[in-house]
A and B are shown apart, each in its own frame.
Chain A
């Protein structure tokens, strides 16, 4: 969510009203006041709504100090959050590197809520505030409100109230049960946060009345269709009673289950009600952040594209000066800079750079397509109204599907992308595809896979519980490309899981190609949590 990890020096903010501004300019120089912000916001809004056709939540812009920005950092950007030592740890490390000047602060933080809250720092110059408002209050805001993942998984209206509740609940628990026990539950829940989301909308469970009705209909249907002849048809072997038992158990416990915290909340035998509620809080927050991880490229691409459009438009219409434009361009280029793979500070593909480049590329394809584009993107090439196309894309894709659909040969050539495969069993790495005619599709597929959570997150499910025996919880990690789990973290996490579950836990790592169990991890509950 941060615009960039760099900071421009600027003298402290001074108040100043609109003194003799040259014709049409929103501001001059670096200073700003609340009137300036209002003017800037109105100008941005005009462009965003009328020209770009964006659809946003009502905005709330909050001015904060650098210290408050540090505070906000440490609780994953949320304005209020329950207390936990890990946030203190993050705060300490951010603070240490900030004080040393190793890292600047983000210019802004934006929260997916209704109204959409954007935090802007008082140290920013007037130009930076304009950029930040265009980026966060319109770019991100539009994306939050319209993207299907956010619509499906997050409740922008309720999030702040829910966090308020969570904060109060956890602090009540701390008062009642002591810091230690609460911390233990939260530690364990945080460790399992990655396995705490429902990846598919759940089936609505029928209530008893509908169930009964269905049962009656089924019986009626059977009676109508009754034919004594069916009795003589040989039936399939019923299967061993063991199987039936297993099926029944699976149905009862809703297994296999990949949402581990959900499973614990509903079925762990030893947890007290407040502990279940704490697990639920962590789980729901994980679910709230679930779309963000899947839309990084698109979300930042959308926001960066929008701020670029707005700033250019403001400059064209003479609302910001040439100097401001240069200042903007300088920080914009920093944000969308993509180092090449062999440069020392290469740290992976920059989502801002890729997202922005793809949005611009789509605009180019819509407006001035080449023959290649017409062949690759018959639906949008030369369609003209690029904003409509982009708005549709922003609403209906996530990173993986977006790249799979819209990464164009033109852009692959421009970025000089290539695909390398590192196979443990081979002595060398192999260049599997490069940016040429034969490689485009392979390259694009490989690139999309990098953003597919099925590829980045391990596939872990609870497969069984030994109900008749020692109540051991059995999990399975289905390996992908023969990559196992990180050993020491897995051991620790399983320990947390065993503490919550109250009995032994077993994790099997299975290679789906050979169906062999490659490795097993076990853990036993240390002590009762209550």
Chain B
């Protein structure tokens, strides 16, 4: 009996030592909660961080390609150029309508020399002249876009074999975007720019950036409530946005993340990397990154000469940009954009703050930290 009693005693004290009180349990749960709360977002963000790294690496490749192109030809490529010209009623193969994008010119410099040679040769037997067919056409040679023109973060758009996610800078110019090589184009990609003409300094001037493909591939449709994301489409006929870019940020154009219901929005961006139109492969540094795109014009295709085309991406908080010196930087979407209600200028300081100053190649602005 005594022995049994002792045994029970020992067992009871052991039980008291091994058990947890409610408070201890709560503390442990709280610590686990904190650790999970800290680590889980980090694990999820690691995927996007990896995608972003690939996107910025592609930009770096384009930086090298542009510099090697400049070393070879002593100038940067035209954003839009080629064999001339479109003719009414003629078959699409007679020339490329002077609209090949810089992605084609740069091909030999990002290891797509074979495709470049095929485009240069054309296909005379099939009625396609050297230089390829009209740049907006489907053609077997260029229908399989090189992987370097795609950013893996840029999901959610309409995609096909000619989609792309990178864009050439038109600076803080809003008008005269097409053809883009006449008149004053304040960005790096205008008329065969030489590095010597980037007077603001190559480390203070943006050369390329990213843009998400559009939600559809086609002309304008009237959008409904919460239907088309503002970062993807281009709103047509936004009157006054050519002289007052800020109109493109008002509730009349943007409702939450989406275009306001009733607007006519088109999906032309990111669907034809070979076509050099502004609304295909261009961006300007007026509206901050990841804002809506607008045009005061009403062209249903990609041919508006006036447009606000900010770079857009799925990276949280901003976009990657390639500076003219080859550096890749991340620009926040809250970057200083100065006075967006001011009309665009053709010379001198950009009215659009640090962002506009980074876009212009010869504005004379001092650009601080960004």
Co-complex (A, B): no
B→A interface (CB under 8 Å):
none
A residues whose Cβ falls under 8 Å from a Cβ of B: none
